[in-house]
Amino acid sequence: MSSVFYYNWKCNITTEGDTFDTYVCHIARETFKGALGYAFGNKAELNIKHLLTHGDSFCEVIVRMP
């Protein structure tokens, strides 16, 4: 099984100055999940460990392919 780990400590898409827009973050995450599903169907597994929107200090996403 192959895995790709993605870490992000600051999101420039959802941050303007010191303001963090959780709505934009949710849209970006759901778009990524949709693109992953479109590209790989049910072959890819997305595992979200940490999220800025849940109060974590970074985002951690793992994509696994069998």
Every domain of the chain and the residues it spans: 2-65
Q: What is the DSSP string of 15-64?
A: EETTEE-HHHHHHHHHHHHHHHHHHHGGG-EEEEEE-GGGT-SSEEEEEE
The dihedrals phi and psi of 23, each to the nearest 5 degrees, come to -60, -45
The closest alpha carbon to 63, from 52, 47, 42, belongs to 47
What are 35's strand-pairing partners?
none
User: Would you state the pLDDT for residue 10?
Assistant: 73
**Average confidence score pLDDT of the chain:** 83
pLDDT above 90 (res 38)? yes
User: Would you state the pLDDT for residue 21?
Assistant: 79
Span 6-31, mean pLDDT? Answer: 79
Bigger pLDDT: 26 vs 34: 34
The dihedrals phi and psi of 22, each to the nearest 5 degrees, come to -65, -30
pLDDT above 90 (res 51)? no
